[in-house]
Amino acid sequence: MDGDALVIAGEEIGSRLIMGTGGAPSMSVLREALVASGTALTTVAMRRVDPSARGSVLDVLSECGIRVLPNTAGCFTAGEAVLTAKLAREALGTDWVKLEVIADEHTLLPDPIELVDAAEQLVEDGFVVLPYTNDDPVLARRLEQAGCAAVMPLGSPIGSGLGIRNPHNIELIVERAGVPVILDAGLGTASDAARAMELGCDAVLLATAVTRAQSPARMAAAMRHAVEAGRLARGAGRIPMRRYAQASSPWEGIGTGATLTS
């Protein structure tokens, strides 16, 4: 759709499907999936240099012409997340960051207190902050008030594939948000991505559903189409739900003996 691009912090992003790179079994599989997804923005994590590592995810992104979005995955405190974001800015030359501050390793759910603290510090330091957040409309509003360039509520816990467990909350976030809403985490298959877009999200961010699928490239293509289909459906305006049937054929002119038409 012309004139319907995703815009974050004034910059146009060429796809509404944002891919994470975690979980792919090899760089070649990752490359195929990224290309099939049509993504224009892709997350990476920051970790200690491993001298024995072969092949760099940055080389793959550079070859594919995909913009890099560093995250702060694995950080438990605002201090850790801020330092990681600053290191990412230095290493990758971008002031965009997917802010992730988790509470524990069991649920990987965001710690809301540390998250808002880190968001405020990073916005103050000039970062474009895209926070991974709980599906809490109040927290989403606080993050937007802190100056975040988008809010990224989870559908369900990271890697769970449980889909969108609280669509009502996602709708509440979408209704009030003045920045893009990106459904992040928990999607399992294409219908989940379409649902996110039908609920009014501006984009989806996913990794595991593609990278750990039996055929990552095929699932990536499915996700690409699902995001487009969901966006189109949202724009088209769905019919209201009804308790009883409503005939789509006219009642007039029914022939002898006919009692019902559909």
Partner 1 sequence: MKVIINGRPHELPEGASVADAVGGVTGPAGLAGPGPAGPGAVPGGVAAALNDEVVRRSEWAATTLKEADRLEVLTAVQGG
Tell me which residues touch partner 1 (CB under 8 A).
20-24, 30, 43-49, 51, 53, 56-58, 61-71, 73, 83-84, 86-93, 98, 100, 207
82, 122 contact by CB (below 8 A): yes
Q: Is 208 annotated as a binding residue?
A: yes
Q: How far is the CB of 27 from partner 1 (least distance, A)?
A: 8
Minimum gap (Å) between residue 49 Cβ and partner 1:
5
- Residue 157's nearest CA partner among 110, 197, 224, 111 is 110
Annotated catalytic, 86? no
User: Rounded to the nearest whole angstrom, what is the least distance from the CB of residue 70 to partner 1 in the complex?
Assistant: 6
Measured from the CB of residue 173, what is the shortest distance to partner 1 in angstroms? 21
- Closer to partner 1 by Cβ: residue 23 or 200: 23
Distance CA 107, CA 159 (A): 10
Strands 6-8 and 11-13: antiparallel
State the catalytic residue, choosing from 16, 31, 98, 195: 98
CB of 82 or CB of 172, closer to partner 1: 82
Backbone angles phi, psi at 181, to 5 degrees: -110, 120
> For partner 1, which is the closer residue by CB, 53 or 260?
53
Q: How far is CA 248 from CA 99, 219, 226, 245, in A?
A: 49, 35, 27, 9
Residue 207 assigned as binding residue: yes
CB closer to partner 1 out of 91 and 138: 91
Decide if 24 contacts 216 (C-beta within 8 A): yes
* Residue 137 or 180 with smaller CB distance to partner 1: 180
- What Å distances lie between residue 182 and 51, 87, 91, CA to CA? 35, 24, 25
**Does 203 show up as a binding residue in the annotation?**
no
R_g of the chain computed on alpha carbons? 21
Q: Could you tell me the smallest distance in angstroms from the CB atom of residue 250 to partner 1?
A: 54
What is the distance between the alpha carbons of residues 204 and 195, in angstroms, rounded to a whole number? 10
Strand partners, 7: 12
Q: Which helix (H) or strand (E) holds 33?
A: helix 27-37
Q: Give the annotated binding-site residues.
A: 159, 185-186, 207-208
- What residues act catalytically? 98
Q: Give the annotated binding-site residues for 1-deoxy-D-xylulose 5-phosphate.
A: 159, 185-186, 207-208
